[in-house]
Amino acid sequence: MSLEENKEIALQFVNGIVGLCKGGDFAAFAEKFVDCDFVSHDPISGDGNLESLEKEIDSLRDGLSGFEVTINDMVAEGDKVVVRQTIQGTHQGEFMGVKPTGKQVRVTEIVIMRLKGGKIVESWVNLDHLGMMQQLGVIPPLGQDEK
């Protein structure tokens, strides 16, 4: 596949996740975009597979209402596509072990996707978890004491 085709698949994948957060069929999404041997590398949840991807999407849907993604940059090289994006939503349900706060969150994330045969076979995710926890009020801003 060409670099532009890989970028288009990555864009559709990201948009598909947003769609799933508003309701949708994970099985159909996965069949279209994700290889059955998919591996996800995430510093928080650890290495995962297709089942853990579904759980992460469920967590986003249940925890952040109005979930949206803005793609800031997309770069392709070889069989990989790198996406720098901003995610946002309102914390209306339990998310990452945090009870609902009703607060808006807006954080950056970098995702590297490896593609093969038009599907995502591996991904690496780096989300600004610290910034998210600070926005939720779980962790005080740097340089400030807890109150």
pLDDT tens-digit map of 68-85: 999 999 999 999 999 999
Distance between CA atoms of 107 and 134, rounded to whole angstroms? 10
Summary mean pLDDT of the chain? 93
Distance between CA atoms of 18 and 71, rounded to whole angstroms? 12
Report which residue type is found at 55.
K
State pTM to two decimals. 0.90
Domains (range + CATH), the chain: 3-135 (3.10.450.50)
In this prediction, what percent of the chain has a pLDDT beyond 70? 98
19-26 mean pLDDT = 92
In this prediction, what percent of the chain has a pLDDT beyond 90? 86
Asked if residues 85 and 69 have their Cβ atoms less than 8 Å apart, the reply is yes
Report which residue type is found at 43.
P
Distance between CA atoms of 96 and 60, rounded to whole angstroms? 9
